[in-house]
C-alpha cells in the first residue's frame, strides 16, 4: 500500500535527500528505518516532493513509499498486550525511535489513490534565513547564513518582487548532470518576499537582524532558491541593482549569475497538493 | 588592563563555562584564543557573570579578563600597512577567527575602573525553551527541550508568578560540592514568565508550540532555573499544582524537588550592571 509521509530533517548530516550509494542521505536513513519498522523484505523506494541538496533542511518534506501489505501487527500494551494492525502513529513512533532528532517523521497516512509526492505536488514553499549582524550567532549558525555587510532590506524586497511570475529560470539554475540544454526551466513563482524577524527566540535583542526569504513556486530547478538568495543579497549590499537582476533573469544564461548562497540557510517548509 | 567581554556560545560542545583541566570548557577555549591574539605570556584568568553548566548556551555572557599591557600592535591594511595599537574590534576579529561559530566574542571593551563581571552584576536574565509538540523538531532540538505531553500554559504562568520575589531557593538548588548547609541560598527573582511563541522561524506552522520561560533575578544558585522549569512543566502537565510548588519552595529541602530540565534548553540571555 502507498503511504504519504511528512518529514523534517536537519540537513547538515546528509548528502541531500536523494539516495546515493556510499554516503548518508535522508532517503537512505528513512528507507532503512521504515524497512526495519515494517520488516520489509525488498528495499523501499522513496519519492519526495523536493529533492533537497546536501546540507539543506526540511520541515515539511512530503514523501511517498509503497509499504508491504499487510503491515506487521504490533502488540498493544494498553489493550492487555493483544496484537493489532500497525497504524500510521505506530510508524511515526517506530521510525522516530531510530532517527530522531536528525530525521523526524511528523505524520504517516495511507495515501489517496494515485497520489505521487512529486507529481501530484502543485506548489513548494522554501524559506531562507540570513543572519545580518557584525558577528555570527552560535545558535543560529546551523540554520542561517551569516552576512556581516549592511543590507538594504527594501532593495532586497524589490528584487524579490521582480522574480514573481512565470520565467525561464535558466540563469539561476545549475543544469542537472546529463541534462541537455533544452530541458524546460520555465517555472512559475507564486510569491517571493523578504522580511525581518527580530523575535526573541532568534538572535536576541540588539544583536542583529534575522532576515527571511519566503518563496513559493509550482516547482524549482536545481539551486534556484540559493541562487536567487545570493542575487538578492548582492542587491541588498548594493553590488547589483534590481535592473541588473531582471537583465540576468532575461539573459537566460548562467554567465554573470552569482554563486549560490550556502545550503544551511535553506529549508523546505511546505508542499501543497490539489485538494 | 581589564577588559569587559560580551560572549555567546553553543554550550553543546563544552563542559560548561568554568575552566576544568582535561575537558573542553568555554573559559578554556576563550582564554587560549585571547592569549594567542594578545601573545600573553601568562595564562589568562577569566571571570564570568553566570557560571553556566555543561550544555547550557549563552548569548549575553559577560566576562572580565586582565590582558597584558600594552597589547601588541596590529598592521592596518587600510592605512598602508602601518602599525597601530590593537583595539577591541581587533580582539573580536582575532578571537572569532579562532572560535566562531561555537564561541563568539560579540564585543570587547576596556572595563570601567573596579569592574568585576561577577560581583558588579546586579541581575541575570535566563531563558528556557520548551518545544511542545507530538514529535521533536530537528532544527530546534539543539536549543529546546521536547515535551510531547499536553501542557496548560496558564497553570505554568501561575507557577512562575509564585516564585517572583525573595525566597530561600534551597529546594530548587543543587548544593555546590564542599559547600556547607549554611551557604546562603536566598535569591530575589525580579520577574518570571511563561509565554508562547509560534513565530515562523521556529518550528513552523501547525507543528507545535514553542514555549519560553524568561526569568530575571539578582543571582541564581546551581541548577535553579532548570529545576524551576521542571517544576513548572510538571504543573503544566497536571502532575503538581501551584500550591504544591509553593509548599516545595517553603520546605527549603531538595526532597520532593523534580530532576532539573535538560541543559540544552537553557540560555543566559543578558546580564545587567549598575549604570
> Active-site residue among B53, B90, B234, B270?
B53
Residue A206 contacts B where some CB pair is shorter than 8 Å: no
pLDDT of amino acid B208: 86
Chain A nearest-CA distance from B9, in A, is 5
A271 touches A50 (CB < 8 A):
yes
Contact B267 A202 (CB under 8 A): no
The per-residue pLDDT for range B164-217, each reduced to its tens digit, is 999 999 899 887 656 666 777 899 999 999 999 755 455 455 578 999 999 999
State yes or no: pLDDT of B256 exceeds 90.
Answer: no
Instruction: Specify the CATH number for the domain of residue B250.
Output: 3.30.70.660
pLDDT of amino acid A122: 97
Q: What is the DSSP string of A10-71?
A: -GGGSS-SS--TTS--HHHHHHHHHHHHHT-SSPP-EEESS-PPTT-EEEEEEEEEE--SSP
A142 touches B140 (CB < 8 A):
no
| Domain co-membership, A234 together with A100 | no
Which residues in chain A touch residue B93, judged by CB atoms under 8 angstroms apart? Answer: none
| Domain co-membership, B129 together with B265 | yes
State yes or no: pLDDT of B12 exceeds 90.
Answer: yes
Query: What are the pLDDT tens digits along chain A (275 aa)?
Result: 999 999 999 999 999 999 998 999 999 999 999 999 999 988 999 999 999 999 999 999 999 999 998 999 998 877 777 899 999 999 999 999 999 999 999 999 999 999 999 999 999 999 999 999 999 999 999 999 999 999 999 999 999 999 999 999 989 988 765 666 677 789 999 999 999 975 545 545 557 899 999 999 999 999 999 999 999 999 999 999 999 999 999 988 878 788 999 999 999 999 999 98
Please give the model's pTM, rounded to 2 decimal places: 0.93
Query: Catalytic residues of A, which ones?
Result: 53
Contact B135 A104 (CB under 8 A): yes
Residue that terminates a domain, selected from B79, B110, B141: B110
Best B88, B135, B137 residue to mutate vs chain A (most A CBs within 10 Å): B135
| Domain co-membership, A130 together with A253 | yes
Q: Tell me if A117 is assigned to some domain.
A: no
Interface of A with B in 82-111 (CB under 8 A): 92, 96, 100-106
Residue A7 contacts B where some CB pair is shorter than 8 Å: no
| Domain co-membership, B141 together with B224 | yes
| Domain co-membership, A172 together with A43 | no
pLDDT of amino acid B203: 47
**Crossing angle of helices A26-38 and A88-99, rounded to 10°:** 120
| Domain co-membership, B84 together with B201 | no
Domain count, chain B: 2
| Domain co-membership, B40 together with B176 | no
| Domain co-membership, A248 together with A145 | yes
Which residues in chain B touch residue A96, judged by CB atoms under 8 angstroms apart? Answer: 135-136
For residue A34, give its domain range. 2-110
pLDDT of amino acid A176: 60
How high is the ipTM of this complex?
0.92
A214 touches A177 (CB < 8 A):
no
Residue A165 contacts B where some CB pair is shorter than 8 Å: no
Closest partner CB to A138 (pick from B104, B135, B203): B104
Contact B139 A142 (CB under 8 A): yes
Average per-residue pLDDT for chain B:
92
**Crossing angle of helices A153-163 and A242-251, rounded to 10°:** 30
**Which three-class secondary structure string do you get for B153-211?**
HHHHHHHHHHHCEEEECHHHCCCCCCCCCCCCCEEEEEEEEEEEECCCCCCCCCCCEEE
Best B13, B58, B138, B148 residue to mutate vs chain A (most A CBs within 10 Å): B138
Chain A nearest-CA distance from B186, in A, is 29
Interface of A with B in 30-89 (CB under 8 A): 57, 59-60
Which residues in chain B touch residue A143, judged by CB atoms under 8 angstroms apart? Answer: 139
The per-residue pLDDT for range B112-171, each reduced to its tens digit, is 989 999 999 999 999 999 999 999 999 999 999 999 999 999 999 999 999 999 999 989
Q: Tell me if A140 is assigned to some domain.
A: yes
A208 touches A242 (CB < 8 A):
no
pLDDT of amino acid A258: 86
| Domain co-membership, A247 together with A147 | yes
A99 touches A93 (CB < 8 A):
no
Q: Which residue of B has its CA nearest to A211?
A: B201
Instruction: Specify the CATH number for the domain of residue B35.
Output: 3.30.70.580
Q: Tell me if A115 is assigned to some domain.
A: no
pLDDT of amino acid A208: 86
Q: Tell me if B116 is assigned to some domain.
A: no
| Domain co-membership, A165 together with A224 | yes
Q: Tell me if B117 is assigned to some domain.
A: no
Q: Tell me if A147 is assigned to some domain.
A: yes
Q: Tell me if A186 is assigned to some domain.
A: yes
Element (H, E) at A127: strand A121-132
Contacts of A70 (CB under 8 A, 6+ apart): A85
Contact A104 B8 (CB under 8 A): no
Q: Tell me if B184 is assigned to some domain.
A: yes
Residue that terminates a domain, selected from A79, A110, A141: A110
Residue A135 contacts B where some CB pair is shorter than 8 Å: yes
| Domain co-membership, B127 together with B233 | yes
| Domain co-membership, A147 together with A260 | yes
pLDDT of amino acid A206: 59
Contact A135 B92 (CB under 8 A): yes
pLDDT of amino acid A17: 97
Residue that terminates a domain, selected from A75, A110, A145: A110
Q: Which of A35, A94, A96 is nearest to A65 (CA)?
A: A35
The per-residue pLDDT for range B15-65, each reduced to its tens digit, is 999 999 899 999 999 999 999 999 998 899 999 999 999 999 999 999 999
* Count of C-beta atoms within a 10 Å radius of residue A122: 12
Amino acid at each position: 500500500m502507498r503511504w504519504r509521509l511528512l518529514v523534517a530533517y536537519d540537513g547538515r548530516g546528509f548528502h541531500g535527500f536523494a539516495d546515493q550509494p556510499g554516503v548518508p542521505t535522508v532517503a537512505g536513513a528513512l528507507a532503512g528505518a521504515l524497512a526495519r519498522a515494517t520488516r520489509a523484505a525488498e528495499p523501499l523506494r522513496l519519492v519526495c516532493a523536493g529533492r533537497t541538496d546536501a546540507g539543506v533542511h526540511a520541515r515539511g518534506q512530503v514523501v511517498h513509499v509503497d509499504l508491504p501489505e499487510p503491515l506487521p501487527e504490533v502488540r498493544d500494551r494498553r489493550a492487555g498486550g493483544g496484537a493489532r494492525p500497525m497504524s500510521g502513529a505506530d510508524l511515526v513512533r517506530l521510525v522516530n525511535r531510530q532517527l530522531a532528532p536528525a530525521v523526524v517523521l511528523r505524520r504517516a497516512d495511507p495515501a489517496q489513490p494515485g497520489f505521487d509526492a512529486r507529481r501530484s505536488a502543485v506548489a513548494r514553499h522554501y524559506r531562507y534565513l540570513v543572519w545580518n549582524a557584525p558577528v555570527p550567532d552560535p545558535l543560529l549558525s546551523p540554520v542561517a547564513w551569516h552576512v556581516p555587510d549592511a543590507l538594504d532590506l527594501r532593495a532586497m524586497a524589490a528584487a524579490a518582487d521582480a522574480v514573481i511570475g512565470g520565467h525561464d529560470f535558466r540563469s539561476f539554475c545549475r543544469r542537472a548532470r546529463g541534462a541537455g540544454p533544452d530541458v524546460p526551466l520555465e517555472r512559475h513563482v507564486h510569491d517571493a518576499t523578504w522580511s525581518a524577524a527580530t523575535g526573541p527566540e532568534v538572535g536576541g535583542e540588539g544583536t542583529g537582524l534575522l532576515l527571511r526569504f519566503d518563496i513559493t513556486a509550482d516547482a524549482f530547478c536545481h539551486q534556484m532558491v540559493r541562487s536567487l538568495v545570493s542575487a538578492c543579497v548582492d542587491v541588498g549590499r548594493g553590488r547589483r541593482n534590481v535592473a541588473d537582476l531582471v537583465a540576468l533573469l532575461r539573459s537566460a544564461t548562467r554567465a554573470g549569475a552569482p554563486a549560490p548562497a550556502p545550503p544551511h540557510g535553506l529549508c523546505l517548509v511546505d508542499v501543497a497538493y490539489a485538494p
